[in-house]
Amino acid sequence: MEYELNIREVIYALSEALDLVGIDDTRHGKRVAFMAAACAKEAGFDDDFIDEIISIGMLHDCGVSKTETHRSLVTQLEWKDEQFHCERGAILLGKVKLFARFSQPIYYHHTHWDILEHLPVDARVKQMANLIYLADRIDALRVQLEGSDLERSDEIERIILEHKGNFFSPELVDAFVAAARRNSFWFYLADEPLEEQLLEWVGRGEILHLPFTEIREVAQMFADIVDAKSPFTFEHSFGVAALSNFLARGFGLDEHTRETVEIGALLHDLGKLRVDDDILNKKGRLNHGEKMLMNRHGFDSNMILRRIHGFREIARIASLHHEMLDGKGYPYSLEKEEIPLEARIVTVADIFQALVQTRPYREAMAPDAAFAILQEMADAGKIDKAVVKMIGANLDQAYRLAKYKERAEAA
């Protein structure tokens, strides 16, 4: 079936997830998008170019999953490993029909202008890539220098001018200097005016009729980003989605509901992008503060996905995967009757996949051992007995589906 979606709304919502990676430095992608658009307007680029650069700006760090990577990128003007996230981002975008045209600008968005201008690349791609690089480094300098934006604006301008012609296109640097002389350029970087400007842009977006396959490509891209945050979650979201789809089919749910379950499962851990790498990879028991941060990821997934009209049910399913039927789950502590079957399916699939996957505190379990834990939880009234029963009746297949991504990569 087809879905009616404003793609700008999708891009904005997913940029919320990408911006969580910075933890203490959120909205980086949105600031880059705004500054790149302001410079493009100053340079006289057409409206289509400006619309495109806003989208690219918000998605430009899709190759960044780890907090430490983000920290290195924003605290150094140049970083020796910066090209890796450009390459990864380009690969991820290239797999998504809706975003494939952004792949080349993302690939080159840390390439110095004195190299980029001589490469056999389309001129428009060069301009987009270098404009994102310019805005990205301006925002990095905001992190590195002390004071308010207006207080550090002269120093930022001085450093950017030092790299005119080598890091950055002279034309684009001139556009930045002209745009940045207006105080409003810097004022708009504060959270509220920034959001207002970008949401106006979102509101002008065209509603598209898209097949499920294209929606799934976007969800798979972000599942890849989330799963790459830790080596212990490499194939987690894909395995949960494959197993959830199988279970939903087993319960006779209709096609639209199965699609909703699959997308919800792919995106269920989106909020984990806010969690520091050290917490995700910790071998010992989490302390109270760390546990609270971890326990809010379902809530954050919900808040992100609810921004997309038509995704409310997906958001709800994604956010409930740690709710328990005894009312002792999180983040909402819902009672049994408040948890729909779709969410119960994702919960069981999530637990089973995690059990058969190596985690920092234990090795992967065999299917029988993992199922025994599911059965204990079902008997204790925590998870749905019927869903667990279906896992048990199809244990070998459930295991293969849970290890879906890992097996696909090995094939």
Q: pLDDT of the chain along its 411 residues, tens only?
A: 788 999 999 999 989 988 888 777 789 999 999 999 999 999 999 999 999 999 999 999 999 988 888 889 999 999 999 999 999 999 999 999 999 999 999 999 999 999 999 999 999 999 999 999 999 999 999 999 999 999 999 999 999 999 999 999 999 999 999 999 999 999 999 999 999 999 999 999 999 999 999 999 999 999 999 888 876 667 899 999 999 999 999 999 999 999 999 999 999 999 888 888 888 878 788 899 988 888 899 999 999 999 999 899 999 999 999 999 999 999 999 999 999 999 999 999 999 999 998 777 678 899 999 999 999 999 999 999 999 999 999 999 999 999 874 444 433
Task: Note whether 187 and 238 are same-domain residues.
Answer: no
Is 114 within 8 Å of 86 (Cβ atoms)?
A: no
Angle between helices 255-266 and 236-250 (to 10 degrees): 160
Quick one: 107 and 45 in the same domain? Answer: yes
What was the pLDDT predicted at 21?
A: 86
Q: Are residues 269 and 359 in the same domain?
A: yes
Letter for the amino acid at 375? Q
What's the one-letter identity of residue 351? Answer: I
Token output for 371: 């199922």
CB count in 10 Å sphere of residue 228: 16
Residue 155 falls inside a structural domain:
yes
Is 389 in the same domain as 291? yes
pLDDT at 232: 64
Structure tokens at 401: 């589906």
The confidence score (pLDDT) of residue 176 equals: 98
Is residue 39 situated within a structural domain? yes
Predicted TM-score of the model (pTM): 0.92
Q: Is 174 contained in some domain?
A: yes
Task: Encode 163-175: b = buried (16+ Cβ within 10 Å), e = exposed.
Answer: bbeebbbebbbbb
Give the three-class secondary structure for 282: coil
Q: Do 48 and 181 share a structural domain?
A: yes
259 and 352 in a single domain? The answer is: yes
- Residue 175 sits in the same domain as residue 26: yes
- Output the domain CATH number for residue 370: 1.10.3210.10
What is the per-residue pLDDT for 406? 44
Q: What is the pLDDT of residue 411?
A: 31
Residue 397 lies in a domain: yes
pLDDT for 235 equals 83
Q: Are 40 and 134 contained in the same domain?
A: yes
Q: Which phi and psi (to 5°) does residue 209 adopt?
A: -100, 110
Residue 285 lies inside a defined structural domain of this protein? yes
- Compute the distance between CA of residue 228 and CA of residue 82 in angstroms, rounded to an integer: 16
Last residue of a domain, one of 203, 237, 268: 203
The answer to whether residue 208 sits within a structural domain is: no
Residues 89, 86: Cα–Cα separation, whole Å: 5
In a domain, 381, yes or no: yes
Q: Could you list the residue range(s) of the whole structural domain that residue 161 is in?
A: 2-203
Please state the length of the chain. Answer: 411
Number of domains in the chain: 2
Query: Do 199 and 110 share a structural domain?
Result: yes
Instruction: Assess contact for 236 and 354: CB atoms under 8 A.
Output: yes
In this structure, are 152 and 242 located in the same domain? no
Verify cis geometry, omega within 30 degrees of 0, for the bond prior to 331.
yes
CB atoms within 10 A of CB 70: 24
Q: Measured between alpha carbons, how far is 14 from 222 in angstroms, rounded to an integer?
A: 8
Domain contains 237? yes
165 and 235 fall within a common domain: no
Beta bridge partners of 362: 359
Q: Classify burial at 14, counting beta carbons within 10 Å of its beta carbon; exposed 0-12, middle 13-18, buried 19 or more.
A: buried
| DSSP notation for 316-355 | HHHHTTT--TTS--SSS---GGGS-HHHHHHHHHHHHHHH
Q: What is the pLDDT of residue 231?
A: 65
377 by Cβ neighbours in 10 Å (0-12 / 13-18 / 19+) ranks as buried
For residue 5, give the DSSP letter.
E
Tell me: do 192 and 236 sit in the same domain. no
Helix or strand holding residue 89 (H, E): helix 82-94
